[in-house]
Structure 1
Amino acid sequence: MSKEKTCSRCGIVFGCSTEDNGNSCWCNRYPPLFTPDPVINCMCPQCLHEATKEKIDAYVAEMTVEKAFNNNSAKDIPPAKQLIEGIDYYMENTNFVFTAWHHLRRGYCCKSGCRHCPYGFKKQTA
């Protein structure tokens, strides 16, 4: 099922449709960071990606090691059904590099020395 919608951010018309299961919109792959609003309705895929990244970047920028352990609300967001490039990870050559957001959303440190570890266990480089 598909509906025609207008992006509340850029104004383009886009198709809003349910995925294969018929119950959820494509936008449900993104973390639920925006409260439905009568003025700010749906966003097109590109605008939702950009707005989500902006909100996450602001959250991560204020994160400290102490906050990561004691006051990390990202871990309370329902788990992602699939990872999103540019939000949860980026590619470097053929390697996946997980973002600080991914680690915060996971809710714990694996102590593997991840590059973007918000818990203070980054690998030391020579």
Structure 2
Amino acid sequence: MTQLNCTQCNTALTCNVDNISACWCNELPAILPLDTTATSCLCRKCTLSKINAFLEDVYTQPIKIQIDFAKQFRGSNNLIEGLDYTMQNGYMIFSKWFFLKRGSCCKNGCKNCPYGFSKIKTPSF
């Protein structure tokens, strides 16, 4: 284990450079294109921020391309806070990424539905 500082925010972090497959960063999906010029580590918060910024570009693509991209990440039941969901008032709010990985719409009007059913209908009285 090596003590490093995040190259983006300077937060202290522990990196397992001797066994990179056992490092904390391997808990995250390999969504980002491989950066062969990278020479140091980012902390979890900065890594998630970079992944989410990349996904924002993915979300600008047609839905079919988004689904095809997310398909390779299906099958992982490991939900990651800040990527698959955020916590709001004690509730898990699933992200577009979560729904794309799932691959289908439940048509319940979920907040971040990428399939076009995110309009929550309020009952009329």
TM-score for the superposition, normalised by structure 2: 0.72
Q: CA deviation at 1:44?
A: 2.0
Q: How many equivalent residue pairs?
A: 117
Matching residue of 2:36: 37
| CA offset digits 1:27-76 (Å, max 9, x no partner) | 1222212314243543222221221122122322x04xxx32x2221222
Q: Flag structure 2 segments of 5+ consecutive residues without an equivalent.
A: none
Q: Flag structure 1 segments of 5+ consecutive residues without an equivalent.
A: none
Kindly indicate whether residue 85 of structure 2 is the aligned counterpart of residue 89 of structure 1: yes
CA contact (8 A) 1:29 1:81 kept: no
Matching residue of 1:25: 23
Q: CA deviation at 1:104?
A: 0.9
Identity of aligned residues (%): 32
CA contact (8 A) 1:5 1:14 kept: yes
| Superposition CA RMSD, Å | 2.7
Matching residue of 1:59: 58
Structure 1 stretches (4+) deviating beyond 6 angstroms?
none
Higher deviation after alignment, 86-95 or 76-85? 76-85
Q: Which has the higher contact order (CA 8 A, sep 6+)?
A: 1
